[in-house]
């Protein structure tokens, strides 16, 4: 699962724009991953300049 | 919110707000969609300096009308209120990894026009919002564009549960624009590099030069990193930007390392962060023809003229006027031409006269000269004499290139090894050099 650590995120919006599945959105000035749309490509993890998106291995 | 608008503008940055202003002043109904709750709360890294008020830029003369507190573009007839602080900057000091320095501007302040004006972007956006509110623009904050559908004569812009219908759309959603992706422009653009940015406002910074712009090239884990330091418009805060084209540089760690590094430690000894920002940009070659499916692309969304908010403002304003004229053409049943004229200006003035390759050269220095030692040598040689005052990257690149060319005979004598390095890279485009180096 990929989630965004909102205590680290600076809300620059970059990952929202670059997610290939439009699976990230801004709601009330917070940035969230819409889990149903996310394909875990981890592009958001690579592009974020502050390391806010985190990939957590799903329990098998 | 209305059932239907003449135009939906996506993004309430400088480009979107000026497009809305142009349309509303012509009597059209405009909705502006902005995903942040407060469009004036800047969260994306920006140097917040407007340049260059001492020369033509993007075919216009930008200046600050201090008497009436307005920002003005004399050629386009655009002016709007800006009530915030302004600080004039006169010199630009550029440091190499070994602290060799090149300087733009003679150091004698106020004898020449400033090379840039430091301003407060929150106030700029707030003032623009106030200005367009008088013209009945509906600004829908907290509303994120998610998709777009095209019907006959109508575009439906989706923002979550909401939908906005209009005849035209202006995409001003900034760099990495989702509208641009949706319209398929990027498949014909060249992807050159990615720019990763962390920045902060700092207090207690002890600058090597006052009221000047300070930039430096350095290396973190052998990867080039660029530092920009700009005084904020008011008080003693500075805007500190750390920027790299390399994936995988930990910019948070880089801040700690750079501020403790012996070369810079004296500047940062008492420095404290007061606010933090970030930015990521996929750098593409510019869009050539920014109108498709009744959607006009303006500002950073269409060209990575990054570091140049003036371009965003001008394209927003001119683009808004073009759509206003197009709506009038439809109403009057006359032959359309306004948008084609605008596209010609975009291509021939905005894009062709301000070549993105030149803008990239500034970030290409470390790649062209490839090694810290070479950068030091070149900066040392070229920095003997100050350059004319400018912070215009396009002009600066021309000045640097010219001087380097004239120093070639000396380099050939002193350092034939370095000449060989330069010969290999100077004939290439910066985008090619970056492309080659970054893809390794
Ligand atoms: C590191 C850095 C330093 C810079 N320094 C300077 C400088 O010193 N001087 C200068 O003049 N310029 C500078 N710039 C450039 C400047 O920030 C931009 O050129 C300018 O902000 C572009 O304006 P814009 O309106 O096109 O886009 P933006 O300012 O990016 O505005 C886009 C707006 O659209 C909104 N948005 C995005 N997507 C959506 C969506 N899906 N739905 C709804 N809203 C959306 C965003 O929240 C934003 O408010 C710098 C840029 C960077 C990255
Ligand atoms: S790129 Fe990083 S800082 Fe920017 S919005 Fe996404 S998670 Fe937040
Ligand atoms: S992992 Fe990929 S699909 Fe999932 S949110 Fe990040 S960028 Fe989007």
Query: Considering the domain boundaries, does residue A37 fall inside one?
Result: yes
Q: What is the pTM of this model?
A: 0.96
B100 and B221 in contact (C-beta within 8 Å)? no
Rounded CA separation B173/B144 (Å): 10
And the tokens for A45? 């993890």
Question: Omega of the bond prior to B366 within 30 degrees of 0, cis?
Answer: no
The answer to whether the CB of B241 is under 6 A from ligand 1 is yes
Amino acid B97: pLDDT: 96
Amino acid B111: pLDDT: 67
Query: Considering the domain boundaries, does residue A48 fall inside one?
Result: yes
Q: Which residue range forms the structural domain that includes residue A40?
A: 2-55
Amino acid B362: pLDDT: 80
The 10 Å CB-count burial string (b at 16+, else e) for B174-201 is bbbbbbbbbbebbeebeebbbbbbbbbb
Residue in this structure with the two tokens 């008080």, named with its chain if needed: B235
DSSP letters spanning B422-438:
HHHHHTS-HHHHHHHHH
Q: Is residue B440 scored above 60 in pLDDT?
A: no
Amino acid B394: pLDDT: 85
Rounded CA separation B158/B148 (Å): 6
Q: Say which of A14, A29, A49 has its CB closest to residue B36.
A: A29
Q: Looking at CA atoms only, how far is residue B128 from chain A in angstroms?
A: 21
Q: Encode A3-59 in three state secondary structure.
A: EECCCCCCCCCHHHHHCCCCCEEEECCEEEECCCCCCCCCHHHHHCCCCCEEECCCC
B194 and A47 in contact (C-beta within 8 Å)? yes
Q: How far is CA B317 from CA A31, A59, B19, B220, B251, in A?
A: 30, 52, 5, 41, 35
* B386 CA to centre of ligand 2 in angstroms: 40
Structure ipTM over 0.90, yes or no:
yes
B191 and B245 in contact (C-beta within 8 Å)? no
Residues 6+ apart with CB under 8 A from B428: none
Rounded CA separation B150/B371 (Å): 51
Amino acid B110: pLDDT: 63
Per-residue model confidence as pLDDT tens digits over B332-348: 999 999 999 999 999 99
Query: Considering the domain boundaries, does residue A30 fall inside one?
Result: yes
Amino acid B361: pLDDT: 81
Mean model confidence pLDDT for chain B? 93
The total number of structural domains that make up chain A: 1
Are B36 and A48 an interchain contact pair (Cβ–Cβ within 8 Å)? no
- Residue B286, sorted as left (phi over 0), alpha (psi -120 to 50) or beta, turns out to be beta
Rounded CA separation B315/B342 (Å): 9
E-only strand ranges, B25-153: 30-33, 49-50, 62-65, 70-73, 78-81, 86-89, 91-95, 101-104, 116-119, 138-140, 147-151
Are A17 and B277 an interchain contact pair (Cβ–Cβ within 8 Å)? no
Query: Considering the domain boundaries, does residue A60 fall inside one?
Result: no
Rounded CA separation B300/B355 (Å): 14
Proximal ligand: closest to the CA of B164: 1
Rounded CA separation A35/B405 (Å): 55
Per-residue model confidence as pLDDT tens digits over B260-295: 999 999 999 999 999 999 999 999 999 999 999 999
DSSP letters spanning B220-233:
ETTEEEEEEEEE-S
And the tokens for B113? 């026009």
Per-residue model confidence as pLDDT tens digits over B26-77: 999 999 999 999 999 999 999 999 987 778 888 899 999 999 999 999 999 9
For residue A14, count other CB atoms closer than 10 A to its CB: 28
Rounded CA separation B417/B115 (Å): 36
Amino acid B359: pLDDT: 79
Rounded CA separation B301/B13 (Å): 11
CATH superfamily of B4-85+120-189+290-351: FAD/NAD(P)-binding domain (3.50.50.60)
Kindly list the residues from chain B whose CB atom is less than 8 angstroms away from the CB atom of residue A49: 196-198, 251, 278-280
Residue-range domain boundaries for chain B: 4-85+120-189+290-351, 88-112+192-281+365-440
The answer to whether the CB of B309 is under 6 A from ligand 1 is yes
B434 and B364 in contact (C-beta within 8 Å)? yes
What is the mean pLDDT of the segment spanning B86-111?
89
| CATH code, B88-112+192-281+365-440 | 3.30.9.10
Rounded CA separation B242/B199 (Å): 6
> Which of A14-23, B94-103, B125-134, B391-400 shows the lowest per-residue confidence on average (mean pLDDT)?
B391-400
Amino acid A37: pLDDT: 97
Compare B308 and B292 and report the one with higher pLDDT.
Answer: B292
Per-residue model confidence as pLDDT tens digits over B99-115: 999 999 987 666 678 99
Kindly list the residues from chain B whose CB atom is less than 8 angstroms away from the CB atom of residue A11: 36, 43
Query: Considering the domain boundaries, does residue A44 fall inside one?
Result: yes
DSSP state of B60: B
The CATH number of the domain holding residue A27 is 3.30.70.20
Q: Is residue B201 scored above 80 in pLDDT?
A: yes
What is the mean pLDDT of the segment spanning B217-225?
94
B217 exposure class (CB count in 10 Å sphere: 0-12, 13-18, 19+): buried
Q: Looking at CA atoms only, how far is residue A23 from chain B in angstroms?
A: 10
For residue B439, count other CB atoms closer than 10 A to its CB: 7
Closest by CA position to B219, among listed B241, B249, B192: B249
Alpha-helix residue ranges (DSSP H) falling in B104-177: 121-133
Query: Considering the domain boundaries, does residue A45 fall inside one?
Result: yes
Return the best residue to mutate from A4, A34, A44, A54 for the ligand 3 pocket (most ligand atoms within 8 A of CB). A44
Same fold, B4-85+120-189+290-351 and B88-112+192-281+365-440: no
């Amino acid at each position: 699962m990929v989630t965004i650590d909102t205590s680290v995120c600076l809300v620059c919006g970059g990952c929202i724009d670059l997610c290939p599945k439009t699976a990230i959105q801004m709601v009330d000035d917070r940035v969230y991953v819409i889990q149903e749309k996310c394909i875990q490509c981890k592009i958001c993890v690579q592009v974020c300049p502050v390391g806010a998106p985190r990939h957590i291995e799903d329990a098998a | 919110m209305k059932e239907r608008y003449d135009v939906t503008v996506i993004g309430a940055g400088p480009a979107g707000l000026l497009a809305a202003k142009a349309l509303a002043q012509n009597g059209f109904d405009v909705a502006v969609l902005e995903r942040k709750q407060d469009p004036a709360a800047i969260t994306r890294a920006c140097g917040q300096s407007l340049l260059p008020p001492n020369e033509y830029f993007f075919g216009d003369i930008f200046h600050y009308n201090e008497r009436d507190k307005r920002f003005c573009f004399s050629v386009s007839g655009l002016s709007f209120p800006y009530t915030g602080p302004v600080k004039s900057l006169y010199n630009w000091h550029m440091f190499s990894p070994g602290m060799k320095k090149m300087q733009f501007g003679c150091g004698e302040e106020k004898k020449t026009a400033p090379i840039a004006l430091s301003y407060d972007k929150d106030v700029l956006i707030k003032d623009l919002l106030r200005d367009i509110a008088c013209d009945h623009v509906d600004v829908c904050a907290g509303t994120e564009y998610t998709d777009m559908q095209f019907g006959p004569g109508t575009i439906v812009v989706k923002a979550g549960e909401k939908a906005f219908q209009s005849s035209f759309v202006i995409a001003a959603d900034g760099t990495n624009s989702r509208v641009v992706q949706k319209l398929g422009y990027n498949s014909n653009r060249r992807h050159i590099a990615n720019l990763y940015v962390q920045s902060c406002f700092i207090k207690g910074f002890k600058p090597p030069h006052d009221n000047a712009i300070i930039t430096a090239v350095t290396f973190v884990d052998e990867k080039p990193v660029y530092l920009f330091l700009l005084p904020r418009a008011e008080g003693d805060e500075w805007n500190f930007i750390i920027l790299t084209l390399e994936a995988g540089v930990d910019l948070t760690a880089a801040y700690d390392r750079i501020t403790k590094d012996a070369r810079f430690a004296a500047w940062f000894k008492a420095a404290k962060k007061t606010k933090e920002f970030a930015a990521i940009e996929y750098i593409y070659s510019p869009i050539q023809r920014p109108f498709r499916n009744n959607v006009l692309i303006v500002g950073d969304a269409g060209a990575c003229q990054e570091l140049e908010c003036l371009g965003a403002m001008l394209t927003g304003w001119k683009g808004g006027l073009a759509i206003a004229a197009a709506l009038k053409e439809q109403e009057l049943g006359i032959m359309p031409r306004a948008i084609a004229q605008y596209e010609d200006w975009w291509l021939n003035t905005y894009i062709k006269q301000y070549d993105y390759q030149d803008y990239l050269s500034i970030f290409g220095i470390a790649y062209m000269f490839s090694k810290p030692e070479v950068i030091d040598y070149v900066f040392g040689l070229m920095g003997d004499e100050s350059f004319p005052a400018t912070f215009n990257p396009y002009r600066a690149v021309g000045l640097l290139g010219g001087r380097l060319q004239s120093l070639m005979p000396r380099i050939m004598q002193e350092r034939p090894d370095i000449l060989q390095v330069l010969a290999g890279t100077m004939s290439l485009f910066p985008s090619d050099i970056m492309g080659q180096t970054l893809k390794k």
